[in-house]
Structure 1
Amino acid sequence: MTSQRTPRILVVGGGFAGVACARRLERRLRPGEARITLTAPFDYQLYLPLLPQVASGVLTPQSVAVSLRRSLRRTRVVPGGAIGVDTKARVCVIRKINGAVLDEPYDVLVLAPGSVTRTFDIPGLTDHALGMKTLAEAAYLRDHVIAQLDLADASTDAAERAARLRFVVVGGGYAGTETAACLQRLTTAAARRYPRLDAGRIRWHVVDVASRLMPELGDRLGTEALRTLRRRGVEVSLGTSVERVERDRVRLTDGRELPCRTLVWTAGVAASPLVGTLGTDTVKGRLVVTDRMTVPGLDGVFALGDAAAVPDVTKGDGAVCPPTAQHALRQGKVAADNVVARLHGHPLRPYAHKDLGLVVDLGGTDAVSRPLGVQLTGLPAQAVARGYHLMALRTGVAKVRTATNWLLNAVAGDDYVRTGFQSRRRATLRDFEFTDAYLTPEQIRARRASVT
């Protein structure tokens, strides 16, 4: 960077980490002191923890999608996905939403591309499973679930009806547990509107290879969540996983074969494939970074959020921060401070944050929470969970919209409306996250050679 040119700061990612970083940069830098650009596939920040409530219809999609242009006032927003980074030329390769590819130059790069759904080499998985990582997936899943009720109600075939009324969620973490809990409430309530359907024939299953449900919560709260699900009739199978997925059935590793038309895959996340284009060290797929979130060996490159293995200095012993919104939000602020310090020639500061606790909303008055180590269940836990979510939402408009949706749903319930998009073509995991769009290091080198 030279004094003759305004420094160019490029933030990759519109999630908690990226948006928090850009907002902090806007506050810390004077107008004209640096040029801030943010690129993200969508023009909104998704509040991922509330996605199960979108799938169940408790919240509208707009409640959890905060406009980037409303949040960011001095940041140039480039709608597109970063598909490669040329660190030698200091260029980020971006595929815009119209398919055009551009080279976006930078002086300082902040990588916060987030994560994608982690899949395994299970026959039929990517062809038949549905995900819960994007807003489009949540909206599609709601449509799909209601469609199964419609089709089961219309069917005269007992085997088809049983398969359409069985729903399997793979993954006993927060996403899987909340998705199963919220959608089970949806289907049970909706069945009352179908005279030919017996709610007792609707089957929900949660499958996880772990021995406990949400082990991060601890024994007591994990057991309480498990008890809540089973009380509602949700079958929870621990210590098992999926062996094969077909269009109308799922085979588990314990030998069971379940007739099923709906498999929701929430078995973890993996760092964005973008990290593989840098050619630097990784830990379990996440970029190795210092406690100041700089990438060793790459001048002017910071990485944070789900895509980076940020050391957890509060725990030590090589621990890294978990990929949660709580950490991503705070990492974004510290990364912005370090970018500003770098521009001004000041020392960078390490990231340190002690976990404030966890909240799990199981719908209705059911929840489990552990704020500041205090274990809560039932209505008090629900109040803490929803209060936390309201505080974490970025704008006042989002807070009001979400609170209004909660109130309206509690008073009036749901209309179980199916929008009908993609009704004639079943969508799968492959249709939402575009994980095949990234460049390889060889393609990046070839691209640089063709330009020079």
Structure 2
Amino acid sequence: MSTTERPRILVVGGGYVGLYAARRILKKMRYGEATVTVVDPRSYMTYQPFLPEAAAGSISPRHVVVPLRRVLPKAEVLTGRVTTIDQDRKVATVAPLVGESYELPFDYLVIALGAVSRTFPIPGLAEQGIGMKGIEEAIGLRNHVLEQLDKADSTTDEEVRRKALTFVFVGGGFAGAETIGEVEDLARDAVGYYKTIKREDMRFVLVDAADRILPEVGPKLGTYGREHLESRGIEIYLNTSMDSCVDGRVVLKNGLEVDSDTVVWTAGVKPNPALARFGLPLGPRGHVDTRPTLQVQGTDYVWAAGDNAQVPDLAAREAGAENAWCPPNAQHALRQAKALGDNVISGMRGFPQKEYRHANKGAVAGLGLHKGVAMIVVGKVKIKLKGRLAWYMHRSYHGLAMPTWNRKIRVFADWTLAMFLKREVVSLGAIESPREEFYEAARPAPAVARPTPEKAKAS
């Protein structure tokens, strides 16, 4: 960390909003005008819409993340966590990966912590559940699913086999529907290499507390998505939730009980709980309360956007939707980040702030290879697509939205190669504890008691 007399713009969080806001500020800023400091516990940004495809092996995991230091060469990038913020002194406390915490003064503050998985106190969930918020979880899910196939193919215990081949997904929004669609595709391809397993032996279960899946694309496309997944043998239970999953015994509120070694939790997100320690005004669900200018209510030096912010949706309100807020998706995050960056520069120079306004352009979702749904808004017309064409729209939109040309090219290269090469179905579960084998080889052998001279003579 460098010391400087220049004003410091502190960006808390290096996710989608943090990365794009910092890039925008650096682009608009004059040389030497301020120091931009980005603090995040990871040294990379994860493009979350591609996590289902990374879990299915359609995209290399390394191509789903963007290294912060490479993309922000003119910024200070600190790998750690902002634990507290003193608004009166304008000082943040940073806890680095190693060493003691230290204080970091700032003049302008950007809150871009994003969201975390929304969970409930369900017995067994912490021990059995697998989330889908980070690339590590996507890699872990892929390895886990392939290991379950290995386990089922190698055992003679029918109960163990049935439990290994049952996969339960909780949450029917974009994350849940896309993940189960991609993973079912992966498993369907993978069983072709197992002599004792068929697709009919596997059981995929999708559970959601709402009355439909994919609410983001509307009722008709949501119904199509459900019928499509069911046609692939996926069981879908709506208006129900999971009561417990202790030791893999999944109990649903509708009375259904199944044994499963795989419980994937995608039942929504909530703002990062660290926001409660920042002394900022929060909305009823824990979001930072912002004005349409993305400035935090009651301040003129703090901005917030993305999943951790409660941003008024001016376009929806003008169309008649009272108290509408911007939904937490990449479409809004990208545009909010750019508007936020411009407003930070304006605020630093004493110019007026501009309000954020964006009309919804629609939504796209992939449900596996060559399968998807899309709702595109053109003016006042909603164009609804499904099947292969919607899947192309999904890939085109997110491929172009991926930050940096380096990652765009790599992602499109992965997709192009997949047209000619078969899907990779190798499980690398050992990477979760890579030193285990070496440890077993290198640890000292247990001491063997040597007989005393008296015992040796006696023998």
The verdict on a shared fold, with TM-score over 0.5 as the criterion, is yes
Are 2:318 and 1:313 equivalent residues in the alignment? Answer: no
Q: Which segment is superposed worse, 348-357 or 166-175?
A: 348-357
1:393 aligns with 2:402: yes
Segments of 4+ moved more than 6 angstroms: none
Tell me the distance in 2 between the aligned counterparts of 1:169 and 1:344: 50
Separation in structure 1 between the aligned mates of residue 46 and residue 432 of structure 2, nearest angstrom: 25
Deviation digits for residues 55-84 of structure 1 (CA, Å, limit 9, x no counterpart)? 111111111101212221311111112222
Corresponding residue for residue 334 of structure 2? 329
**Alignment map for 1:6-155 (pairs within 5 Å):** 6-98=6-98, 100-155=100-155
Q: Which residues in structure 2 correspond to 1:249-268 (within 5 Å)?
A: 249-268=249-268
1:424 and 1:15 map into 2 onto residues whose CA distance is 27
Assess if the C-alpha contact under 8 Å between 2:293 and 2:343 holds in 1: yes
Structure 1 SS opposite 2:419: helix
Per-residue deviation, residues 390-430 of structure 1 (Å, max 9, x unmatched): 110111121111111112223212231111236679xxxxx
For the residues of structure 1 that align with 2:395 and 2:282, how far apart are their CA atoms? 38
Once the two structures are superposed, what CA deviation does each residue of 1:349-392 show, in whole Å capped at 9, x if it has no partner?
11111111111011211110112221111121111111101110
Task: Confirm whether residue 346 of structure 1 aligns to residue 365 of structure 2.
Answer: no
What's the counterpart of residue 379 of structure 1? 388
**CA 255–368 in structure 1, closer or farther in 2 if over 3 Å, else same:** same
1:256 and 1:99, CA in 2 relative to 1: closer, same or farther beyond 3 A?
Answer: farther
- Asked whether the 8 Å contact 1:168–1:205 carries over to 2, the reply is yes
Please provide the CA RMSD for this pair. 1.5
1:366 paired with 2:371, answer: yes
Q: Which runs of 5+ in 1 are unaligned?
A: 426-452
Question: 1:295–1:43: structure 2 CA closer, same or farther, 3 Å change rule?
Answer: same
SS at the partner of 1:283?
coil
Q: Deviations over 1:145-176 (max 9, x none)?
A: 11111111111111110010000000000000
Structure 1 residue 249: Cα displacement? 1.6
- The alignment of Structure 1 onto Structure 2 pairs a total of residues equal to 422
Q: CA deviation at 1:17?
A: 0.9
Higher relative contact order (CA 8 A, sep 6+): 1
Aligned partner of 2:457 in structure 1 is: none
More deviation, 85-94/381-390 = 85-94
Partner Cα separation in structure 1 for residue 147 and residue 364 of structure 2 = 31
Q: Which moved more, 1:66-75 or 1:146-155?
A: 66-75
Which amino acid in the other structure matches residue 236 of structure 1?
Answer: I
Q: Answer yes or no: is the 8 Å Cα contact 1:163–1:249 preserved in 2.
A: no
- Could you tell me whether the CA contact under 8 Å between 2:174 and 2:216 is conserved in 1? no
Q: Distance in 2 between matches of 1:331 and 1:103?
A: 28
In 1: Cα distance, 2:112 partner to 2:29 partner: 20
Whether the aligned pair in 2 keeps the contact of 1:95 and 1:101 (CA below 8 Å) is yes
Instruction: Please report the TM-score for the alignment, with normalisation by the length of structure 1.
Output: 0.91
Contact residue 128 and residue 248 of structure 2 kept, 8 A: no
Percentage identity across paired residues of the two chains: 39
CA drift at 1:119: 0.3
8 A Cα contact 1:20 1:330, kept in partner = no
Secondary structure of the 1:394 match is coil
What residue is the counterpart of 2:297 in the other structure? 296
* 1:357 and 2:362 aligned: yes
Q: Secondary structure at the match of 1:227?
A: helix
Offset, 1:307: 0.6
